[in-house]
C-alpha cells in the first residue's frame, strides 16, 4: 500500500510539472511514512518541504500543486490534506485494505520475501568459538543473531552460507592439550601442580578420563610434546562435536565448518603472506613482518609474522578472509563478540588492502550477556571453569524462549538474561505472547472443523469486503507492513525488527480476539474472518521461522 501511495505521488509530480505547477523537474527520492498520530492519515509525505529549495516555492504551495494533479485510478484514497509546514497526508479508503489479504494468501510462506539480494552470494560467519570449552550464553546470543541475520538475508533473495571458523591452531589449543595432559597424568597417580593459565573446568577431567580409558598409560611412553599434541587434537575434536550438538539443539546448522589449521596445512597462510609481500602491502621492520593497515584507516600497522617466526592470529584471519572472497562471496559478514571491536579496523583495512571494496565486508558486534537468576548475577568465567553453558540454559528455559530473548534486543545493547524471567510465561517474556497467537488461531480452526463449519484451511470464496471492523482493518494494515519490516531488517542486519513486528502484530490480534468472535452465526462473515486470521497465522509462522522459533498449534 505504501508503494502504491508512492507511485501516486510520483505520477502527480510528473503531471504537475508538465502542467506548469512545478518549475523544476528535479525530484528528490520520495519518503512516505506512517504518521504516529491517526489524525495525520495512514500515510504522509514530506516531499513538498524537501523540494522547497529546488522548486523555489513555499512548501504548502508545492503541496497544493501536487494534490491538484493526483490521480487515483484504483480508488484507494479516501482523501488527502495539506498539514503543518507542508506535509501531505493520505487517508486510505477502508475498502482498499481487505484486498491486501489476497497478497498474503497467494504468497503464503513466501509472503514478505523479496528479491533485494538478487541472488548475490553472502557468507555469514558466526559463533566461531575456540574449541577449548563448551559454549556459554554469550555465544548463544551471537549464534541466534548470526543465524537469524542469515535466515533473513536468504529470505530477501541472497544466496547465503553459514560458516563456523574453528580456531584449531595456536596457543589456546596447545594450552588445552596441556590442560588435558596434566589431568591425564593425575589419573596415572602423579601429583601435578595445575597452572592457573590452564583450563580449570570439570570437562577437562572428563576428557582426560576418556583418554585414560582408551589409552591407559600409553601416552607416558611418548614424548611430552607428542602426548600434549595428541591430547589437544583429541580434546578439540570432542569439544567441537559437543559444540555442534549444542548448536543443533539450539536450532542452528552450519553449511561449513572451516578449520584454521587447514589454512596452514594447505599453505594458504604462506601464500597470502607471499602475495601481500609482493604487492608491498607487507614490510619488514624490527625483525617482524608488518601489514600497512594504516593506509586504510587503522591507527597503527599490525604484525603478521613475529620476530620469532611465528605468525599472528591476524595472519590466519587475513588468509581466511582472502579465501572467503576468493570463494566468490559478494559480501562477507562476521559476527563477533563486542570485546573484539578493537579488531574491526585492522580486519577491514586488511580486506580493503586486498582490493576488496569496504562495503563488502561487515562486522556485527554482539554485546555481552549478563546472566542473572532472579535479578542476581551468575558468575561467569571460562578460565576458572565456572560458567553456565548454553546447553544448560537451553535445557532450562527452552530453545524458543532463549532465542527470542536474544533477538528482542538490538545486538549493540548489553543484555541481561534472567533465567527465572525467561521461564515465566508472562509478557516480560514475549515469545509466548507471539506463539499464543498461532495457537489461538489454530484452535479456532480446530473448533471450526469440529463444528463442521469448515474443512481444514480450505476457505471457499471468502469475501474480505465484509471485514469492516476497525480491529480488522488494523490487522490488515499491520500485515501489509510485514514485507517492509523484513526488508529493513535485512538492509540493516537487525533481526530484532522482525521480533518487534511480530509482537505488535500479536498485540493487534489479541485485542481483536477479545472483542470479536471469528466463528459467527453468519457463514459469509465467518469465512471472511477465517480468511483474515489465517493470513495472520501465516505471517506469524513465517516470521517466527525466520527467528528460528517454533509456531505451536497448542499451548
Kindly tell me which of 65 and 212 has the beta carbon lying closer to RNA.
65
Q: Can you tell me the distance from the alpha carbon of 541 to that of 56, in angstroms, rounded to the nearest whole number?
A: 50
Decide if residue 494 touches RNA (CB under 7 A): yes
Distance from C-alpha of 124 to C-alpha of 395, rounded to nearest angstrom: 26
Rounded CA-CA distance 525/388 in Å is 52
Q: Of 219 and 534, which has the nearer Cβ to RNA?
A: 534
- For residues 401 and 422, the answer to whether their CB atoms sit within 8 Å is yes
- Please, what is the minimum distance in Å from the beta carbon of residue 169 to RNA? 7
Q: How far apart are CA 529 and CA 297, in angstroms?
A: 58
C-alpha span between 205 and 181 (Å, rounded): 10
In the list 19, 71, 274, 492, the residue contacting RNA (rule: CB under 7 A) is 492
At its nearest, how many Å lie between RNA and the CB of residue 191?
29
Report the nearest approach of RNA to the CB of residue 179 (Å): 14
Q: How far apart are CA 397 and CA 162, in angstroms?
A: 26
- At closest approach, how far in Å is the CB of 383 from RNA? 12
- Segment 306 to 335, residues that bind RNA, using CB under 7 A: 306-308, 310, 312-314
Exposed / middle / buried, residue 106 (Cβ in 10 Å: 0-12, 13-18, 19+): exposed
Q: Which residues contact 475 (CB under 8 A, 6 or more apart)?
A: 505, 508, 509, 512, 532, 536
**Would you tell me the crossing angle of helices 202-215 and 171-187 to the nearest 10 degrees?**
60
Pattern 511-530, binding to RNA, x per CB under 7 A? x-xxxxxxx-----------
Scored b (16 or more CB within 10 A) or e, 273-312 reads beebeeeebbeeeeebbbbbbeebebeebbbbbeeeeebb
Q: Hey, which residues between 171 and 200 contact RNA (CB under 7 A)?
A: 171-172
Name which of 22 and 525 has its Cβ closer to RNA.
525
- Residue 128's nearest CA partner among 175, 178, 162, 174 is 162
In the region spanning residues 360 to 379, those forming contacts with RNA, defined by CB under 7 A, are 365, 367-368
Among 338, 380, 459, 474, binds RNA (CB under 7 A): 338
The footprint of RNA on residues 12-31 (CB under 7 A) is 31
341 binds RNA (CB under 7 A): yes
Q: Which regions of 429-471 does DSSP assign to beta strands (E)? A: none
**What is the smallest separation between the CB atom of 288 and RNA, expressed in angstroms?**
4
By CB under 7 A, name the one of 9, 122, 239, 415 that touches RNA: 415
- Rg of the chain on CA atoms, in Å: 29
Q: CA distances (Å), 292 to each of 288, 296, 547, in order? A: 13, 8, 40
Nearer to RNA, 94 or 170 (CB): 170
Which residues within the stretch 467-486 sit at the binding site for RNA (CB under 7 A)? 484
Among 218, 339, 395, 457, binds RNA (CB under 7 A): 339
- For the chain, the straight-line distance linking the first and the last C-alpha, in angstroms and rounded, comes to 34
Count CB atoms within 10 A of the CB of residue 232.
Answer: 24
Q: What is the DSSP string of 225-286?
A: HHHHHHHHHHHHHHHHHHHHHHHHHTT---SEEEEHHHHHHTTHHHHHHHHHHHTTSEEEET
**136, 205, 268, 496: which one binds RNA (CB under 7 A):** 496
259 counts as binding RNA under rule CB under 7 A: no
Q: Whole-number minimum distance, CB 60 to RNA, in Å?
A: 11
Of residues 195, 328, 377, 414, which one binds RNA by CB under 7 A?
Answer: 414
The answer to the question of residue 262 lying near RNA (CB under 7 A) is no
Which of residues 167 and 542 has its CB atom nearest to RNA in the complex?
167
Chosen residue from 49, 176, 235, 318 binding RNA by CB under 7 A: 49
Rule CB under 7 A: is residue 50 a binding residue for RNA?
yes
- Name 215's Cβ contacts closer than 8 Å, sequence gap at least 6: none
Closest distance to RNA from the beta carbon of 339 (Å): 4
Does position 60 interact with RNA (CB under 7 A)? The reply is: no
Contact between 37 and RNA by CB under 7 A: the answer reads yes
Residue 129, SS3 per DSSP: coil
Q: Which of 7, 10, 428, 524 binds RNA (CB under 7 A)?
A: 428
Kindly state the smallest distance separating residue 161's Cβ from RNA, in Å.
24
Q: Out of 413, 456, 460, 461, name the contact with RNA by CB under 7 A.
A: 413
Q: How far apart are CB 213 and RNA at their closest, in Å? A: 29
Task: Looking at residues 429 to 468 of the shown chain, list those that interact with RNA (rule: CB under 7 A).
Answer: 430, 432-433, 436, 439-440, 442-444, 446-447
Q: Report which of 316, 296, 412 is spatially closest to residue 364, judged by C-alpha positions.
A: 412
CB nearer RNA, residue 81 or residue 392: 81
Residue ranges in 61-120 that form contacts with RNA under rule CB under 7 A: 83-85, 87, 89
Q: How many helices (H) and strands (E) does the chain have?
A: 20, 15
Amino acid at each position: 500500500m505504501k508503494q502504491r501511495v508512492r507511485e501516486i505521488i510520483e505520477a502527480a509530480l510528473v503531471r504537475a510539472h508538465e502542467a506548469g505547477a512545478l518549475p523544476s523537474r528535479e525530484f528528490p527520492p520520495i519518503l512516505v511514512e506512517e504518521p504516529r498520530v491517526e489524525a495525520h492519515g495512514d500515510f504522509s509525505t514530506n516531499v513538498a518541504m524537501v523540494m522547497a529549495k529546488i522548486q523555489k516555492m513555499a512548501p504548502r504551495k508545492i503541496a497544493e500543486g501536487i494534490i491538484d494533479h493526483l490521480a487515483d485510478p484504483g480508488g484507494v484514497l479516501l482523501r488527502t490534506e495539506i498539514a503543518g509546514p507542508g506535509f501531505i497526508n493520505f487517508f486510505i479508503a477502508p475498502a482498499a485494505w481487505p484486498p491486501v489479504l489476497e497478497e498474503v494468501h497467494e504468497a503464503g510462506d513466501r509472503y514478505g520475501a523479496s528479491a533485494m539480494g538478487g541472488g548475490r552470494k553472502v557468507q555469514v560467519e558466526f559463533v566461531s568459538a575456540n574449541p577449548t570449552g563448551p559454549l556459554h550464553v554469550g555465544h548463544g546470543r551471537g549464534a541466534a543473531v548470526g543465524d537469524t541475520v542469515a535466515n533473513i538475508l536468504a529470505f530477501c533473495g541472497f544466496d547465503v552460507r553459514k560458516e563456523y571458523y574453528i580456531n584449531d591452531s595456536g596457543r589456546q589449543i596447545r594450552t588445552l592439550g596441556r590442560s588435558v595432559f596434566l589431568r591425564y597424568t593425575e589419573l596415572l597417580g602423579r601429583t601435578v601442580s595445575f597452572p592457573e593459565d590452564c583450563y580449570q573446568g570439570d570437562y577437562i577431567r572428563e576428557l582426560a578420563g576418556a583418554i585414560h580409558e582408551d589409552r591407559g598409560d600409553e601416552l607416558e611412553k611418548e614424548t611430552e610434546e607428542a602426548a600434549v599434541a595428541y591430547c589437544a587434537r583429541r580434546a578439540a575434536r570432542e569439544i567441537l562435536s559437543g559444540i555442534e550438538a549444542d548448536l543443533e539443539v539450539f536450532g542452528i546448522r552450519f553449511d561449513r565448518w572451516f578449520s584454521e589449521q587447514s589454512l596452514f596445512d594447505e599453505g594458504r597462510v604462506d601464500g597470502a603472506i607471499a602475495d601481500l609481500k609482493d604487492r608491498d602491502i607487507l614490510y619488514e621492520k624490527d625483525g617482524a613482518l608488518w601489514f600497512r593497515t594504516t593506509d586504510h584507516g587503522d591507527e597503527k600497522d599490525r604484525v603478521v609474522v613475529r620476530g620469532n617466526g611465528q605468525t599472528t592470529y591476524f595472519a590466519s584471519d587475513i588468509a581466511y578472509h582472502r579465501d572467503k572472497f576468493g570463494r566468490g562471496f559478494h559480501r562477507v559478514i562476521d559476527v563477533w563478540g563486542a570485546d573484539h571491536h578493537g579488531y574491526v579496523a585492522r580486519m577491514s583495512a586488511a580486506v580493503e588492502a586486498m582490493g576488496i571494496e569496504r562495503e563488502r565486508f561487515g562486522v556485527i558486534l554482539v554485546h555481552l550477556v549478563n546472566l542473572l537468576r532472579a535479578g542476581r548475577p551468575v558468575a561467569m568465567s571460562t578460565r576458572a571453569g565456572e560458567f553456565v553453558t548454553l546447553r544448560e540454559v537451553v535445557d532450562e528455559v527452552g530453545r524458543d524462549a532463549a532465542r527470542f530473548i536474544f533477538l528482542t534486543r538490538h545486538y549493540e545493547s548489553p543484555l541481561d538474561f534472567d533465567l527465572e524471567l525467561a521461564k515465566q510465561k508472562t509478557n516480560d517474556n514475549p515469545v509466548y505472547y507471539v506463539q499464543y497467537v498461532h495457537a489461538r488461531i489454530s484452535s479456532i480452526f480446530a473448533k471450526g472443523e469440529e463444528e463442521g463449519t469448515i474443512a481444514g484451511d480450505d476457505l471457499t470464496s471468502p469475501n474480505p469486503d465484509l471485514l469492516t471492523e476497525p480491529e480488522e482493518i488494523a490487522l490488515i494494515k499491520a500485515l501489509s507492513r510485514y514485507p517492509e519490516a523484513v526488508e529493513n531488517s535485512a538492509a540493516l542486519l537487525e533481526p530484532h525488527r522482525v521480533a518487534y513486528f511480530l509482537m505488535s502484530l500479536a498485540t493487534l490480534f489479541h485485542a481483536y480476539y477479545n472483542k470479536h468472535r471469528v466463528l459467527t452465526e453468519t457463514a459469509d462473515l465467518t469465512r471472511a474472518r477465517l480468511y483474515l486470521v489465517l493470513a495472520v497465522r501465516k505471517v506469524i509462522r513465517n516470521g517466527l521461522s525466520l527467528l528460528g522459533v517454533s509456531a505451536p498449534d497448542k499451548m
